[in-house]
Amino acid sequence: MALDRWIALMLLGVCMVYGYTAWFTMDSSLAPFMQRNPIWPSTFPKVLSIIGMACALFILLGFEQAEEKEKDIDYRRLWEYHLGQAVMLLALMVAYALCLRPLGFLGSTTAFLFLGAFILGERKYVTMLIIALIAAGSIWYLVQEVLGIYMRPFPGFIGG
């Protein structure tokens, strides 16, 4: 089996566990007044799990097969790909998750976007910083003000 099908099989397993959690465990702890709402907190995870399972099955069953076989990933030559960038991005994601509380949303998200673009090879530092600040500020504003969900914008020592 090709590498893309193995990845799709693993993704299918993750989506099935995620879907099981969304369908059966998240809704059991809802308050009675929320059970009559048309949209529950588990609605989006349910939709994501269904879409993820459909995409994984689409790849597993081979509907997306390209005509040219030379574009497939050769697992015997993985060292020729940009694995360093992928590993650094994964480490950056873990660092982002760990820094959300101590640095606040705006600082950690701006740093994550800036450093992620740097890892991927972008070198226009001023543009990267402006885009990262606008994106982080926009997301914070939408979540905080529009949705009404509190997110600590600044580090705790500043008063966030």
> Does one domain contain both 21 and 97?
no
Question: Of 81, 105, 137, which closes a domain?
Answer: 81
Overall domain count for the chain: 2
> Does one domain contain both 15 and 62?
yes
Each residue's pLDDT, cut to its tens digit, for the chain (160 residues) gives: 677 888 999 999 999 999 999 888 887 777 777 777 777 778 889 999 999 999 999 999 888 765 555 566 666 777 777 888 989 999 999 999 999 888 989 999 999 999 999 999 999 999 999 999 999 999 999 988 887 778 888 887 776 5
Rounded Cα distance between 146 and 140, Å, is 9
Core vs surface per residue 58-95: b (16+ CB within 10 A) or e? ebbeeeeeeeeeeeeeeeeeeeeeeeeeeebbeebeee
> Does one domain contain both 59 and 5?
yes
> Does one domain contain both 4 and 77?
yes
Which among 21, 24, 15 has a CA at the least distance from the CA of 58?
15
- Cα torsion angle, 154, 145, 132, 108, sign: positive
> Does one domain contain both 10 and 41?
yes
> Does one domain contain both 73 and 86?
no
Domain that holds residue 134: 82-160
Q: What is the pTM of this model?
A: 0.59
